[in-house]
Copies of this chain bind each other. A is one copy, B any other.
Amino acid sequence: MDTIGVGLIGSGFMGKCHALAWSAVKPVFGSNRTPHLVALADVDSDVATKRATEFGFERATADWRDLLADPAVDVISITAPNQFHAEMAIAALGAGKHVWCEKPMAPTLDEALAMRDAAAASDAVAILGYNYIQNPAIRHIAKLLGEGAIGRVSHVRFEMDEDFMASPDAPFGWKHDAASGYGALDDFAVHPLSILHVLIGDVREVMIDMAKPFDDRATADGSRRAVETYDVASALIRLDDGISGTLLVSRAAWGRKGRLAIQIFGTHGAILFDQERGNELQLYRSEDPVGEQGFRTVLTAPIHSPYDRFLPAPGHGLGFNDFKTIECHELLECIADRNGMTIDFDVGLTIERTVHAMARSFETGQWQEVNPAD
């Protein structure tokens, strides 16, 4: 069959992002099945109708379960809030639909485990929306590492920082409530971990510290309430083969807007990347002539596949939403039984186990192993 029927749950920013990807993937890549935008579900039926029209979906519904019952729907994009991911993904897989679920998997490890099991029990494809790994710059770093461009990797440093919690004047919100999780750890750590997985490998042991830049914040009634989450988290990490590293995250880092800074050191060079300048990477090769060694700023270009599917000339720049289109293409490759590069539910579970080990480390003040049997 030449088309593939798409259902979308959620129509906020990530819903729009998925919709754009589904619209662009065929014009950009050409080779895939043509997405047919069947139905959009949003809990607010007016919003559902409005967004379905804007995004080009044929039907709108306030009940996401309608998508499961619809034989025209082959794949479901899940962009609802995190606490619904498990229920929706498991149901969709049970209905034989492919699943493209936004990260993270779920608030609790048990739910994530159930999602993984549902995916394992299904013939359908189930992937998570970790689109930073789809940036041609990141994919080229993976290629360089695979070719041994910087030799054996020995040390890595990852930072992910934004400043949306940096203002002391921001009022107490749900993200300051312990019910929302640990804070920056939950918001950000999974992203660098997804990139670590693709580039180097998984984390084996963690030691973490977390901090609250603000003790309390103003509430609507004029009083102040103690902040229960941590806007800053700093982790020491150990991987296989003696690789050491750090993973530092903050959502209170003034001036950082979408920083995802990577430093990878190897026996014969180093690679740097920062998402804020996401159309370039920096490469240092110790084999360069003495006196001419330096970090090369490599701008992404058609040679860094699949940049060429978007633009014929180097240095003209892709954007965040383009990475989502690439992810959509990779999903379609998986569905077509080809070799799509994605974070599936197995890997996703490992990532979440790592985050939970970090949380345990903070509670115990001790190094923790990332136990695959947790």
Contacts and interface: CB of A to CB of B under 8 A. Distances in A.
Contacts of A322: 319, 321
Given A155-B253, A211-B154, A267-B168, A317 B315 contact: no
A294 interface: yes
Contacts of A310: 319-321
Contacts of A266: 254
B23 A314 contact: no
Interface of A: 13, 16, 19-20, 23-24, 26-28, 30, 34, 50, 53-56, 140, 144, 149-151, 154-155, 157, 159, 162, 164, 166-168, 207-215, 232, 234, 236, 238, 242, 244-246, 248, 250, 252-259, 263, 265-270, 272, 275-280, 282-286, 288, 290-299, 301, 303-304, 310-322, 365-367
Given A253-B265, A320-B318, A23 B27 contact: yes
Q: What are the 3 A-B residue pairs with the smallest beta carbon separation, nearest first?
A: A257-B315, A319-B319, A258-B315
Contacts of A272: 255
B286 A166 contact: yes
A274 B154 CA distance: 23
B291 A294 contact: no
Contacts of A26: 54-56
Given A16-B27, A154-B252, 20 more contacts: A23-B23, A26-B54, A26-B55, A27-B56, A154-B213, A154-B214, A167-B267, A211-B242, A213-B267, A234-B236, A234-B245, A253-B263, A255-B294, A257-B299, A257-B313, A258-B315, A291-B304, A296-B296, A319-B322, A365-B366
A250 B155 contact: yes
Given A53-B34, A319-B310, A321-B310, A255 B277 contact: no
Given A259-B315, A296-B293, A318-B319, A254 B270 contact: yes
Contact of A55 (B27, B209, B321): B27
A279 B318 CA distance: 10
Nearest to A307: B319
Contact of A19 (B27, B54, B168, B319): B27
A187 B270 CA distance: 21
Given A56-B27, A291-B301, A299-B294, A365 B367 contact: yes
